[in-house]
């Protein structure tokens, strides 16, 4: 006898069986009860959330009559998708205009034994534009005995002209607890024992899709084992070892680099990619962040008891600000590992930085603040040069113009300006600069980029800085220059040059007149 996969064998047959879509089921049932059904429906949602199953159940309910009640074969054929009056069409393989015309022609035929002739078009977004256009008139005013149910995972690809002719229902992703409960029921029916943590893990791997979760469960029970635990689950599905992941998270808390490297090496030897390890670490840190801010009993986390313990340990070790930094570090490193040729070296460096995160102070900073390591005895503090984490930086009146000027020389668009500026004073977070003789003709331009100068000064000093420009040129000269520049506003030639070179008019110089 041919084996039937769980997703087909336990497919929903009634409105109540469709897991996680109770609101849609109730709406459709009430529409039938009050005789207020539309002529066309659009079911949208990700894969495996019950769109096609709901369409078949709805079609059977619409065609319910005495003949259907007396003949179970009719209802069974509708649910299996091979009834004469409920025609299922695959939009991917019947996407052309000719198929659409054939559908329109057959819509005029009366149903053979049911009240309605119902067309279920799966993956309707795969139809071509001419096919959609051919369907427009029929979908707007179909024969009284015809109804359409369109299903799609990509509603944005369905033309608005089609959507406006349908009642749209958006199927949401199925919550992990709902999937887990359904898996437990199926396992009881199959006589297979799987521990609750493993069931929850499988449900979470389904990522909101019941069909995906059932496919994974099929792989698990196909081994023939009657009792399956975490070790068997890891072996069957090829998922990373939870024990190694727990050890890795523990080493992040303790700052033990040796244990961290050994755990990551063990995960890599199991076949886990560098990106996947970083993703798993980020997921654990996210759990810790939610635990730290919302409490361990929050409904925002659908994780096992073991994962709750790991999250609690991380939350007790790191503050929310440091956890946020660590998650961002994992994300940035994951992208670099994917692109770079020194992936393993960068990966190990990331693990080391994560282990050393506890050395960073935990209080929040503004975007202008620089990080610094918590001071240790017998250590000389060093100025930070990169914003790698959050930290507590006190704002003072100390200011190093030499560092700021060096940074300006290294910044595109500000290199030449750096040589034109002279430090005057720094008081109450205001940096006062003057323009030397070499920049006398660029005063207007320097004035226009004060915000850029302030940004560089703020990054280097670790505090919000404003910039004041003092010019050695006379006021009348500056006003005259400004007037000359203003006079060029609207000049087509000048505007074209500014657009071409993305430039700014700094000074206007009159060319000597030609005596000839």
Residue spans per domain, the chain: 6-170, 176-237, 242-359, 401-501
Fold assignment, 401-501: GMP Synthetase; Chain A, domain 3 (3.30.300)
Task: Give the burial string for 213-224 (b: 16+ CB within 10 Å, else e).
Answer: bbbbbeebbeee
- Mean pLDDT across the chain: 81
Tokens of 90: 């695959």
pLDDT at residue 483, as a whole number:
54
User: 116-145 pLDDT, tens per residue?
Assistant: 999 999 999 999 999 999 999 898 889 999
Instruction: State the residue for tokens 């029970």.
Output: 221
The residues near 455 (Cβ < 8 Å, ≥ 6 apart) are none
The CA distance from 170 to 140, in Å, is 21
* Range with the poorest average pLDDT among 196-210, 284-298, 355-369, 436-450: 355-369
Tens of pLDDT, residue by residue over 30-48, are 999 999 999 999 999 999 9
pLDDT of residue 496: 61
Name the pLDDT band for 509 (thresholds 50, 70, 90): low
Rg of the chain over CA atoms, in angstroms?
34
Q: 55-78 b/e with 16+ CB inside 10 Å = b?
A: bbbbbbbbbbeeebeeeeebbebb
| Domain 6-170 sits in CATH 3.40.50.720 | no
Task: Quick: pLDDT tens for 46-74.
Answer: 999 999 999 999 999 998 866 566 567 77
**pTM for the full predicted model:** 0.60
Residue 452: which H helix or E strand, with range?
Answer: helix 450-461
What pLDDT score does 84 carry?
Answer: 85
For the record, the structure tokens of 395 come out as 């704002």
pLDDT at 184: 93
Distance from C-alpha of 37 to C-alpha of 169, rounded to nearest angstrom? 13
What kind of architecture, by CATH, is found in domain 176-237? Orthogonal Bundle (1.10)
> What's the fold here for domain 242-359?
Zinc Finger, Delta Prime; domain 3 (1.20.272)
Give the residue from 479, 455, 476, 454 showing the smallest Cα distance to 467.
Answer: 454
């Amino acid at each position: 006898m041919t084996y039937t996969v769980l997703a087909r064998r336990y497919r929903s047959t009634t409105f109540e069986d469709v897991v996680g879509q109770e609101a849609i089921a109730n709406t459709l049932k009430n529409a039938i009860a009050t005789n207020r059904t539309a002529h066309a429906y659009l079911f949208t949602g990700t894969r495996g959330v019950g769109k096609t199953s709901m369409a078949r159940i709805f079609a059977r309910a619409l065609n319910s009559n005495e003949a259907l009640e007396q003949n179970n074969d009719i209802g069974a054929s509708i649910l299996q998708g091979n009834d004469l009056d409920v025609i299922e069409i695959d939009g991917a393989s019947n996407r052309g205009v000719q198929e659409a015309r054939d559908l329109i022609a057959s819509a005029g035929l009366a149903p053979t034994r049911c009240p309605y002739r119902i067309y279920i078009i799966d993956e309707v977004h795969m139809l071509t534009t001419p096919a959609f256009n051919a369907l427009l008139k029929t979908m707007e005013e179909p024969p009284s005995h015809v109804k359409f149910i369109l299903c799609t995972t990509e509603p944005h690809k369905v033309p608005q002209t089609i959507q406006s002719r349908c009642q749209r229902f958006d199927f949401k992703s199925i919550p992990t607890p709902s999937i887990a409960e359904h898996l437990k029921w199926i396992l009881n029916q199959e006589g297979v024992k799987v521990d609750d943590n493993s069931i929850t893990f499988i449900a979470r791997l389904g990522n909101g899709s019941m069909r995906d979760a059932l496919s994974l469960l099929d792989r698990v029970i196909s081994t023939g084992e009657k009792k399956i635990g975490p070790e068997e689950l890891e072996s069957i599905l090829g998922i990373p070892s939870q024990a190694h992941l727990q050890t890795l998270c523990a080493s992040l808390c303790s700052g033990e680099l040796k244990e961290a490297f050994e755990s990551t090496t063990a995960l890599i030897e199991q076949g886990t990619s560098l990106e996947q390890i970083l993703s798993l670490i980020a997921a654990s840190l996210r759990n810790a962040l939610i635990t730290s801010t919302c409490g361990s009993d929050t409904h925002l986390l659908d994780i096992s008891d073991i994962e709750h313990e790991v999250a609690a340990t991380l939350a007790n070790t790191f503050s929310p600000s440091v956890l946020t930094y660590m998650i961002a570090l994992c994300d940035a490193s994951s992208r670099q590992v994917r692109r770079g040729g020194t992936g393993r070296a960068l990966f190990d460096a990331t693990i080391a930085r994560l282990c050393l995160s506890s050395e960073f102070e935990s209080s929040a900073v503004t975007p202008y603040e620089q990080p610094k390591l918590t001071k240790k005895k017998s250590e000389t503090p060093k100025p930070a040069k990169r914003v790698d984490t959050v930290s507590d930086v006190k704002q003072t009146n100390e200011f190093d113009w030499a560092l700021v000027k060096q940074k300006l020389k290294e910044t595109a668009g500000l290199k030449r300006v750096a040589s034109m500026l002279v430090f005057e004073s720094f008081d109450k977070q205001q940096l006062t600069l003057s323009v030397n003789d070499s920049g006398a003709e660029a005063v207007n331009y320097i004035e226009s980029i004060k915000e850029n100068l302030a940004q560089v000064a703020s990054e280097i000093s670790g505090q919000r800085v404003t910039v004041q420009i003092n010019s050695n040129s006379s006021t009348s000269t500056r006003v005259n220059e400004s007037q000359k520049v203003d006079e060029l506003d609207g000049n087509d030639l000048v505007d074209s040059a500014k657009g071409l070179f993305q430039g700014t008019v700094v000074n206007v110089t009159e060319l000597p007149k030609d005596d000839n």
